[in-house]
Amino acid sequence: MTASTTTPTTAGASGPTRLVGPAPGGTGLPTPPVFDSIEAERQYRKEQLAAGFRLFGKFGFSEGVAGHITVRDPEHPDCFWVNPFGMSFHRIKVSDLILVDHEGNVRHGERPVNKAAFVIHSQVHAARPDVQAAAHAHSLHGKAFASLGIPLAPITQDACAFYEDHALYTDYRGVADEMEEGRRIGAALGPHKAAILANHGLLTVGRTVAEAVWWFVTMERSCQAQLLAMAAGKPLHIDHETALRTRDQLGTPLAGWFQAQPMWEQITDDAPDLFD
């Protein structure tokens, strides 16, 4: 497969968002786009965020009003876009997204912001300037696995993406409504792409929304696979060197972004109103 040499576009209500083209990656595969203006990049990130919520809805990751995905604003790195509190993942559109700064001030939008979303994501974004996006939800298998207080084991090829690259946060103290809780979560995440929040759920991050969302989807499935394997018997672990080599193939930011692309194509075809 070779990277396209044409200039890609993303559809929006006010016309397509024009992109400069794929950034050079040297892999022969498509790579995340680069932009000719802040406005174009902001619109693209918001479109990706709205699509990410639709995917979370499609995968059944909603649990009442819990769950949030955020993306850093490209012009104001101390601000991030987030879902309105209490709005169904299935209905979120670009125009619904809320912009909030790290002090808790709503800079754009009329609806309220989930305090737990602010507490967790403001501290994760502050702790990780290399990260654009973060995702957290109370998915069924993620929260079941999180109750065990153990890390993911390298028992499948897909789980190897997280081998020695995810954290275990074991200091659950109730609903995350205090800034200190967010700081502890951000510190526990460290340099990794994901964290298992004991007795709570999963948290993933990425350099793009697509990457963060993909890590969440595949981590949730890896938790499910390990739960099934542990219930059936004693899972066979992949050896250390093979697990590391597999992580280096499947666990890079580019790999995370690229593996999300089929999901993006499907959700944008199935739910074009998300661009409104």
15 against 220, higher pLDDT: 220
pLDDT (average), residues 14-18:
40
pLDDT attached to residue 148? 97
pLDDT tens for 134-164 read: 999 999 999 999 999 999 999 999 999 999 9
**Please, what is the average pLDDT of the chain?**
90
Q: List, in sequence order, every residue forming a beta bridge with 34; answer none if it has no partner.
A: 21
Cα Rg, the chain, nearest whole Å? 18
Lowest mean pLDDT among 17-21, 90-94, 198-202, 264-268: 17-21
Cα separation, 4 vs 11, whole angstroms: 18
Neighbours of 37 (CB within 10 A): 12
Pairing of strands 133-137, 79-82: unpaired
pLDDT tens for 39-70 read: 999 999 999 999 999 999 999 999 999 999 99
Which 8-state DSSP code applies to residue 267? Answer: H
> 272 pLDDT band (50/70/90 cuts)?
very high
Cα separation, 201 vs 179, whole angstroms: 18
pLDDT tens for 181-190 read: 899 999 999 9
Please give the share of the chain, as a percent, with pLDDT higher than 70: 89
75 against 4, higher pLDDT: 75
pLDDT attached to residue 27? 55
Q: Give buried/exposed letters for 39-69 (b at 16+ CB in 10 A, else e).
A: ebbbbbbbbbbbbbbbbbbebebbeeebbbb
